[in-house]
Homo-oligomer: A and B are copies of this chain.
Amino acid sequence: MVPQWIIEKKRDGAALAEGEIRAFIEGYTRGTIPDYQMAALAMAVFFRGMTRAELAVLTDAMMRSGTALETSRIPGVKADKHSTGGVGDKVSLILAPLAASCGVVVPMISGRGLGITGGTLDKLESIRGYRTDLAPDEFMAVLAECGCSIVGQTAAVAPADRKLYALRDVTGTVPSIPLIAASIMCKKLAEGIDALVLDVKWGRGAFMKTPEQARELARTMVEIGAGAGKAMSALITDMNQPLGRTAGNALEVAETLEALSGRGAPDLMRVTLALTAQMLVLTGRVPDTSAARPILQAQLGSGAARRRFLEMVARHGGDAEALASGAGLPRARLRREIRAPRAGTVSAVDAGRVGRACLALGAGRTRVEDAVDHAAGISGIVKIGERVDEGQPLAALHANDEGRLDEALRIIDGAFAIGEGEARPPELIVETVRPGNG
């Protein structure tokens, strides 16, 4: 098996054989196939794509490059959710304990923020003491006792993906739908789950800039998962304006606690409940999503979901008591409001600008190795369709550095549009993608 012959075959538009894909990924993981050959193959895949059969093998080979979690030891049906990332997307923090409180086991391996999209691990690490690097046994224990655990990817999970992702980042091969889909799905399949719901976002604050791109990615991932025997569905959701009212790590945890107490922003709750309902349907807890709604509302209303979140925090070493009493989260030294220049209706909130402003404030990373300021971010974000008076705050910026605050103010300028008359909020959930309906 000569690596360049495999590259040439893909370059010339042929589908690779199972043995070729497996040999390439195994060789790359072991280091016998060098980065430059993988970079050439990735660029050929960018131009030529991959068939469903190729993608199933690629995803499986990347998953098998490491060890899968042995969640089968834990009784109960397991499910997870994955989001392609957005600004203000704290859905996982609400959904995981909410689904767990309904009897679904949620073994969630999450990521860190990069660019304008936030990362669930960064948000959790803003909680004093929360550890995202549990050993496998600790993770299993938390899962078994609490029903959900959100951790980071260990070196043992899909090392081929870890290596390939870093390579794609520097070789112009990130925006390839087959490679994106395989990267996401190999990690999710390694969780040993029965069902997976995907939140594929499109818009100014998302990686996919059109609903069509989002749909193609969603379909690709749903087919990979279905082919691997998982119950699958995907929601295409809007990420043109930020989700909820906050963006930035500690600020989003505070918003999560509000949401778990039944006081979440309507758009945040709509997306969160729709995704959690999908999980209940896919795992057979309810016959359809309409049956899921009252159950989920009850778990929020009774405080069961909130208690489950605080339990998970405590089992991860986080200071749940402080958190419950409104403390336990860092606060930024500086706060600056931006105000409406005139009265009217909010007609646009550019999630891309809000995300870049968050980055400038120190809430995110431009490079993997950057440190994050957990207290930085933006709160009190107005939503499309809301009426504002002249001088009313549109958002508040939080930072620990004057220079960063000034830069963020420059960036966020123009993110908010205020118009005359009515403004319809965007269609939040564009479509539901299920296996075979693509």
- Cα A390 to Cα B401 in complex, Å, equals 95
A367 to chain B, nearest CB (A): 11
Task: Determine the chain B residues whose CB is within 8 A of the CB of A35 once the complex forms.
Answer: 34-36
Does B36 contact A167, Cβ atoms closer than 8 Å? Answer: yes
Q: Which of A3, A8, A40, A167 has the most CB of B within 10 A?
A: A40
Does B40 contact A171, Cβ atoms closer than 8 Å? Answer: yes
1/0 contact string of A1-19 vs chain B (CB within 8 Å)? 0011101100100000000
Does A11 contact B172, Cβ atoms closer than 8 Å? Answer: yes
Which of B5, B7, B172 sits near A7, CB closer than 8 Å? B172
Which residues, 171 to 188 on A, are CB-close (under 8 Å) to B? Answer: 171-173
1/0 contact string of A32-58 vs chain B (CB within 8 Å)? 001111111111101100000000000
**Interface residue? A420 (CB, 8 A):** no
Q: Chain A interface mostly helix, strand, loop or mixed?
A: helix
Q: Which B-chain residue is minimally distant from A171 (CB atoms)?
A: B40
Task: Determine the chain B residues whose CB is within 8 A of the CB of A40 once the complex forms.
Answer: 39-40, 42-43, 171-173
**Interface residue? A155 (CB, 8 A):** no
Does B43 contact A170, Cβ atoms closer than 8 Å? Answer: no
Does A37 contact B39, Cβ atoms closer than 8 Å? Answer: yes
Q: Which B-chain residue is minimally distant from A176 (CB atoms)?
A: B11
Does B3 contact A37, Cβ atoms closer than 8 Å? Answer: no
Which of B44, B167, B171 sits near A172, CB closer than 8 Å? B44
Does A11 contact B46, Cβ atoms closer than 8 Å? Answer: yes
Query: Given that A43-B43, A44-B43, A47-B47 are contacting pairs, would A172 and B8 also be in contact in the complex, using a CB cutoff of 8 Å?
Result: yes
- Cα A39 to Cα B167 in complex, Å, equals 12
**Interface residue? A169 (CB, 8 A):** yes
Q: Which B-chain residue is minimally distant from A2 (CB atoms)?
A: B170
A274 to chain B, nearest CB (A): 34
A151 to chain B, nearest CB (A): 30
- Cα A4 to Cα B171 in complex, Å, equals 5
By size class, the interface of chain A is 20 to 34
Task: Determine the chain B residues whose CB is within 8 A of the CB of A173 once the complex forms.
Answer: 40
Task: Determine the chain B residues whose CB is within 8 A of the CB of A46 once the complex forms.
Answer: 11
A338 to chain B, nearest CB (A): 31
A148 to chain B, nearest CB (A): 37
Q: Which B-chain residue is minimally distant from A44 (CB atoms)?
A: B43
A21 to chain B, nearest CB (A): 15
- Cα A40 to Cα B27 in complex, Å, equals 19
A26 to chain B, nearest CB (A): 18
- Cα A43 to Cα B41 in complex, Å, equals 8
- Cα A46 to Cα B39 in complex, Å, equals 14
- Cα A41 to Cα B5 in complex, Å, equals 19
- Cα A208 to Cα B46 in complex, Å, equals 26
Q: Which of A36, A43, A44 has the most CB of B within 10 A?
A: A43
Which residues, 361 to 387 on A, are CB-close (under 8 Å) to B? Answer: none
1/0 contact string of A378-400 vs chain B (CB within 8 Å)? 00000000000000000000000
- Cα A254 to Cα B39 in complex, Å, equals 46
Query: Given that A43-B44, A46-B11, A47-B47 are contacting pairs, would A37 and B4 also be in contact in the complex, using a CB cutoff of 8 Å?
Result: no
- Cα A4 to Cα B42 in complex, Å, equals 14
A180 to chain B, nearest CB (A): 15
- Cα A189 to Cα B177 in complex, Å, equals 42
Q: Which B-chain residue is minimally distant from A48 (CB atoms)?
A: B47
- Cα A308 to Cα B401 in complex, Å, equals 79
A254 to chain B, nearest CB (A): 36
- Cα A265 to Cα B39 in complex, Å, equals 48
Q: Which B-chain residue is minimally distant from A7 (CB atoms)?
A: B172
- Cα A51 to Cα B243 in complex, Å, equals 44
- Cα A130 to Cα B173 in complex, Å, equals 48
Q: Which of A3, A46, A167, A170 has the most CB of B within 10 A?
A: A170
A169 to chain B, nearest CB (A): 7
What are 10 A-B residue pairs whose CB atoms fall within 8 Å in the complex?
A: A4-B169, A4-B172, A5-B172, A7-B172, A36-B171, A37-B170, A37-B171, A39-B39, A40-B172, A43-B43
